[in-house]
Structure 1
C-alpha cells in the first residue's frame, strides 16, 4: 500500500480548549524547511546529549516521541531521521500533536505509522498518559517528587520535541509541557525558538524600531513570543529538571537566499505595520531598501534558542 494511502491512527480531543497557537501556512513551512535543517546542524550536540539519556533501555521497550505543534511534519521527519541511526534497534512510536487537523493530515502522508492527536498542547499530560501504560509518575499526587532508588537516572521512555513552536505558546502550554516531562521522567528537546535578535548587515538606523515592533507583535494574544525558549527553560529549572541550552541560527545571505529573504522580510514588515499602523511609511521604506540589498550583500543572522530538558530526577 502506498504511503499516502495509509491512514494514521488519530485521536481527537476537546476542540473548544484552545490556545493562542495557530496553524502556519503550509507553503511557508515548506519554504523554511531547508533553512531549518541547516540550522539544526548546530543542534546535533544537544541531540546527542539527549540520546545518551534515551539509550540503554531494552530494545523491546518503545520510546514514545511526541512532536508538539507538529504542523505538516517537517520537524518530526527531521527528528526521526536523526534519532533512528543514533538509537539502533529502539522502536520509536511517534505521536504528532497539533490543534490543526488539516496540517496533521499532510504530516500523516509522510509519516503514516504515526499517531496524530488533534488537540491543544494543554492536553499533553493526558495524551502522554494514554501512551505510557504502566509508567510510574515521577511526582506524587501532592506534587512532591516520588522516591527513587539511589543511582543514575533510568533511561527515559518519553521524548517531547518540537521546532520553532515555543514562541506561539501561552504560559499554560509551557506548564503542560513541563508537567508532562516531570510527571513521566521524560526528555524534552525544543529547537529553533526565536529570540529577539535578528541582526542585519549592513545595519540601518531603522532596524531597532522594526525589531521592537515585531517583537511586540509576536507577544500578542497571550503568546510568549521571542521569550518562549527562555520561559520554558526557566520553568523546567524551577521544576527541578536539568536544562541545557544551545544556539541554532539561520544565516541568510543575499543574493543566494533572495527568495527566502523576500518572504521573511515582507512578512515581518506586515507584522510591524499590523502592530503599529503609524509605522507604515517607515516600514515600507525600510523593506524596499532591504529587498534591494537582498539581491546583493544583505546578511541576516536570525538567532534561535535550543532547550534540552532532562526531567528524570
Structure 2
C-alpha cells in the first residue's frame, strides 16, 4: 500500500509556513509561480494541467493520478491549479458538517491524546490548511498521495496549530487509494479527502468505504462535482457543454458526478450514518483567474468528449472569456460534501 512514512516534525528546520503563492513560487524552473502551458483548448489558448483534459490519458483528471503511469514516470501534476482553486475550495466547503463531526471526535476514546487524521490524495495539502484550524486539540496528519512532488509541498505548507492553539504534526505516505486497507488506517480519528471521489471508480470507492468502516473512522470527503453548472446570462450551449463534460468525467469507469451517490450508498452499506451538504464554487470577478482556467478546462473536456462541438464551442468559449475579462460573468459550479459517521470499532457510539 505505502512506502515507509516520512515524519515531518515542526521545528526550526521547517521553513515558515508558505501560503498558496509561496508553494507556486517554489516550483523548480517556474520562478514567481509562472505557469508552463501544456494543454490547449482552442487555438491560441492554454490551460493549466489539472484544469482541463489530460494530455496523456482521456478521462483522467490531471490533478491526481491514482493508477500507475504508462511510461513508469512519477505522476507530477500542476500545483499551480491546486493553488489557484484553494481559496474557492475553502470558501465552498460545508461548515454545516463540522458540528456533527466535532461531536463525534469529542466522544472518541483516547481523545485527550490528540487526533490522528489521514488525508487521502492530499495534493498540496489544502484540506489540512482548511480543516486543522477548525478543530480543537493536538492533531497528527498523515498525508497520502502517489506523487512525492506534491507530498513535499503538502508537508512544508502544513498548518502549525489547531483552533485552540494545540500542536499539529504531519507525516507523508506514498500510496494508492485502490490499495487502502483498514490496517493502513488503524488508529485513525478521521479520514479526509478533497476533490477525490469523482476521479474514483465504483470499486475504489468501495475500497475506501470498507477501509474507513473497518478502522471505525469517520470520513469527511469534500468538493465532489455534482454535474451542474449555473452561469449568469444563460447560453443555448450551456447544457450541451455540461452534458459532454459529465460524459467525459465518466470515461474509463470513473464516476464523475455520480460519485457522491455511490459513496453514500457504499458507506451506508457498512452501517455508517451519511450526511450530505452542497459546497458550490461561487465564481465572480474576484476569482477571474480561476474562472478563466475552469472555463478552458470545462469546455476543453466537453470538446474532447464530443469533437463535433468544436467549432461552436470555440465561439462559446470566446464569448464567456470576454465576459469573464469584463467582470460580467458569474458561475456557480455545484459540488457536494459528504460526512460518513462510521461505527467506532467495538460498536460504541
TM-score by length of 1: 0.80
Identify if the C-alpha distance between structure 1 residues 127 and 269 changes in structure 2 by more than 3 Å, giving closer, same or farther.
Answer: farther
- Give the SS at the match of 1:66: strand
Q: CA deviation at 1:28?
A: 0.5
| Mapping 1:1-313, distance limit 5 Å | 1-4=12-15, 18=67, 24-40=77-93, 43-56=94-107, 57-83=109-135, 87-88=136-137, 91-111=138-158, 113-125=169-181, 128-129=184-185, 131-132=186-187, 157-253=188-284, 255-294=285-324, 295-312=326-343, 313=347
Does the 8 Å CA contact 1:97/1:119 hold for their aligned counterparts?
A: yes
Does the 8 Å CA contact 2:189/2:218 hold for their aligned counterparts?
A: yes
Residues in 2 aligned to 1:101 and 1:241: alpha-carbon distance in whole angstroms: 32
Residues in 1 aligned to 2:281 and 2:134: alpha-carbon distance in whole angstroms: 19
Residues in 2 aligned to 1:300 and 1:235: alpha-carbon distance in whole angstroms: 31
Residues in 1 aligned to 2:212 and 2:82: alpha-carbon distance in whole angstroms: 27
Residues in 2 aligned to 1:222 and 1:72: alpha-carbon distance in whole angstroms: 26
Identify if the C-alpha distance between structure 1 residues 195 and 309 changes in structure 2 by more than 3 Å, giving closer, same or farther.
Answer: same
Q: Give 5+ residue unaligned stretches, structure 2.
A: 1-11, 17-65, 70-74, 160-168
Deviations 1:60-79, CA, capped at 9 Å, x for gaps: 43422111110111112211
Q: CA deviation at 1:98?
A: 1.0
Does the 8 Å CA contact 1:19/1:169 hold for their aligned counterparts?
A: no
Across the aligned residues of Structure 1 and Structure 2, the Cα RMSD in angstroms comes to: 2.2
Residues in 1 aligned to 2:76 and 2:92: alpha-carbon distance in whole angstroms: 22
Q: CA deviation at 1:238?
A: 1.9
Deviations 1:212-243, CA, capped at 9 Å, x for gaps: 11111111222111111221011111222111
Moved more, 205-214 or 61-70: 61-70
